[in-house]
Amino acid sequence: MTPELLDKLDKKEIVFGGCFFAVSSPSHHCHACRQDFGGSYFAEPTFIKELYFYVGGYFGTSHWVYLNTEKFGKTLRYAFSEEHAIDIRSECVGCNNMVIIPIDERWFEFNKDLLRCYFLDWESHYINTDIMDGTQWVLNVTFDNVTKIERHGSNAYPPHWKKFVLMLHKYGLPIIE
């Protein structure tokens, strides 16, 4: 082992792995929580078929993001409200706070960016039981290979949450807090 390699190991710039690389080998490692994550999740190229995201609570603004390639094509549908729930999965006729963002030309990039938020590695739920009212969130994603991912939380958030919110902003949505 070289002195340079030892130095990088001490600075936690690298992590040693094995000599066998499986399809699902992790591509990242967190020194804080000591968890491996990332990598190739599917054997075949797979794209999002449906995405539903909600974040909000009793007080303040609630936000919805919806994408359904079969029903609405490759468009992000965004809505917000401070008063009531919005059924963003419907045609939502009369929704004054609806924004529709076509992402056809950035479809591959959007799928890649979403996977780089590592939501597939998130736990199924994140709950902070010390807070009664507050912010709840839901992320449901179905891929065209029928894999379905369901994640949710209440006043607690997964790793890469901010990266996920900023990724949505990259495609024209406001920064959701």
**The predicted structure's pLDDT at residue 27:** 58
- Indicate the pTM of the whole model: 0.77
Q: Dig out the tokens for 112 from the structure.
A: 């890649």
| pLDDT tens for each residue of the chain, 177 residues long | 778 866 776 776 666 554 433 334 455 566 666 665 566 566 666 899 999 999 998 788 999 999 999 999 999 999 998 877 788 888 775 667 889 999 999 999 999 999 889 999 999 999 999 988 889 999 999 999 989 999 999 999 999 999 999 999 999 999 887
Length of the chain: 177
Contact 39, 115 (CB under 8 A): no
Three-class SS state of 142: strand
Q: Domain residues of the chain, as ranges?
A: 3-37, 48-170
**The predicted structure's pLDDT at residue 41:** 63
Can you tell me the distance from the alpha carbon of 159 to that of 121, in angstroms, rounded to the nearest whole number?
Answer: 9
Side chain identity at residue 75, one-letter code: T
Can you tell me the distance from the alpha carbon of 142 to that of 133, in angstroms, rounded to the nearest whole number?
Answer: 29
**The predicted structure's pLDDT at residue 177:** 77
Q: Please state, in angstroms and as integers, the Cα–Cα distance from residue 20 to each residue in 5, 24, 156, following that order.
A: 20, 11, 36
Helical H runs in 46-145?
69-72, 107-115
**The predicted structure's pLDDT at residue 176:** 87
Can you tell me the distance from the alpha carbon of 2 to that of 86, in angstroms, rounded to the nearest whole number?
Answer: 59
